[in-house]
Amino acid sequence: MVRSIIFAICLLSLLITHAQDETTFRIRGIVQDATSDEPIENVNIQLDDKKSGTTSNELGEFEIVVDHLPFTLQFSHVSFETSLKNFTFPPTRDIIIQLRGKSETLQGVVVTAQKIDTIYHDDIYSVLDYELMQDGILLLIFKARLANAELLYTDFEGKEITTLPVLPGKPLALYRDCLENSHILTKTRAYQVYTEDRQIGIMPGVDIDFFKQTMGGCLFNIRHKLYFEDYLNFNFAKTIFYIDRNDSSYHELTTVIDPMKFDMLKDNPEDFSIFTNSSEEPNLGDLRATEGDSNILSQIRNLYDKKRFLKMAYYSDVYAPVLRVGDSVCIFDHPGNVIHFYNLSDSLCGSTPIGYHLESKKNPLTTLAEAFAPSTRWLKEIYTDAVKRKAYTMNQNINGTRDLLEINLNTGITQYVLTIPFPYVQKIQIRDGYLYFVYRGWGEGQKKKLFRQQIN
């Protein structure tokens, strides 16, 4: 009898082990900062067999499939200490992983190849937004809640000039318009900000929708000319024009198109049908307040999802930033692989070929991992230094740091300038040989701070 029981137990164990070998487990969880419980994005989660892996999203969430027991998950991030978690059995609920931040000093001056200064840091206030003005920096700061937001005006070294402690509404951001005026944006209103006699003032607000409609497409002004851009043809092209403020006359400068997108749409009539709604798909006008409305709404939603996917995956907007460099209008025509320069007489005074934006050819010996997750990628970001009259672009490294490249406007060749040593910084601006950015950092006292890094 005892032998029978032992045999049955052994047989059952073998069956359970075999069943586990044939079963896959879907593990879900969240990665958090152990100090603040904030979610951590872009954490690398690696299974012990090195064959499976994933990364956490912006909410710290992740999901990974495991096909064996026991197993170990490794959690790693450039700003946190690596953590190993062992599992004998699959968890019955979502797991929470907390990582401890690597020790790093963010206050004062950070010693790197290029000097980094802390322009604004406070143990209570956090930087919500900032704008570089002619004579200083306008900061939108807050404590506890956005309703407790204030304006702070400093010089370029971070020395306080004046403050405005009470703001209207619930500020969400700062916005600098094409006339170089700064505004506080709330959900419903836009308030223009001005500085006078070392004081900050706010003009009466205007409706936010009216403000966006008025300022939409407005780029910058050069003397008496106010320049605009207007997208057309599914946003595969855009026209650059200006309004002469002396007589309100309209003048078209040029039109930039992305011919590859037009050719792709021409070769795929089904996509064209989706974009133009010419395929007799249902619309809101077909609703009749009946039970059949749910089916119509579902079809409309599916059409919208298809259109959104096609736009994101294949038919992105033409990318041709229009920027001011001195008194010249510079059009970075990336589809045409060239920068065009227009002078104040509206004449095309020069063109420079470019290639920094083109995807580099892969070496046949490149690993599969590198092919799908390149160590660096070009960011669609162009910056200009209005004082130095220089142009820059950015590459992002796999660890979240960014490399700044100067674009030679005469040759189109890019040259490496510096690396921002902090991952995933926010709101980059360049002025007078300095690169400004907002970064929160990890560990104790996670308040967003304003830094500047000197450009050699």
Q: What is the DSSP string of 343-392?
A: -TTS-EEEEEE--TTSPPPPPTT--HHHHHS-SEEEEEEEEEETTTTEEE
**How far, in Å, are 147, 209, 249, 266, 389 from residue 185 at the CA level?**
13, 11, 30, 41, 29
In DSSP terms, which residues pair with 341 in a beta bridge?
330, 350
Q: What is the pLDDT of residue 9?
A: 39
Upstream peptide bond of 70 is cis (omega within 30 degrees of 0): yes
Q: What is the pLDDT of residue 361?
A: 43
Find all residues with CB under 8 Å of 257, minimum gap 6, and list them. Answer: 233, 236, 237, 318, 335
For 306, other C-beta atoms within 10 Å of its C-beta total 15
Q: Rounded to the nearest 5°, which phi and psi values hold at 283?
A: -140, 180
Six token digits for residue 402: 């960014």
Q: What is the pLDDT of residue 368?
A: 46
Cα–Cα dist 399/73, whole Å: 19
Indicate the domain borders of the chain: 22-99, 262-313
**How far, in Å, are 20, 267, 427 from residue 131 at the CA level?**
58, 45, 9
DSSP-derived 3-state class of residue 312: helix
Cα–Cα dist 383/389, whole Å: 10
**Consecutive H or E run containing 259:** helix 259-267
Cα–Cα dist 254/306, whole Å: 32
For 12, other C-beta atoms within 10 Å of its C-beta total 10
Cα–Cα dist 358/373, whole Å: 17
Q: Which residue has the tokens 């946003």?
A: 235
**How far, in Å, are 170, 252, 254, 326, 328 from residue 345 at the CA level?**
44, 12, 13, 14, 10
**How far, in Å, are 393, 398, 448 from residue 403 at the CA level?**
9, 11, 21
The answer to whether the CB of 424 falls within 8 A of the CB of 41 is: yes
- The series of mean pLDDT values per 10 residues for the chain, 456 residues long, is 42 41 75 78 85 82 86 86 85 85 49 74 92 94 83 94 91 93 95 89 94 91 94 92 94 95 85 66 62 65 68 82 95 96 94 86 46 72 95 92 94 94 93 94 74 91
User: Topology of 22-99 in CATH?
Assistant: Immunoglobulin-like (2.60.40)
The answer to whether the CB of 326 falls within 8 A of the CB of 341 is: no
CA 94 to chain CA centroid, Å, is 28
**How far, in Å, are 149, 316, 392 from residue 154 at the CA level?**
16, 39, 26
Q: What is the pLDDT of residue 271?
A: 76
DSSP-derived 3-state class of residue 311: helix
β-pair type (61-66, 53-55): unpaired
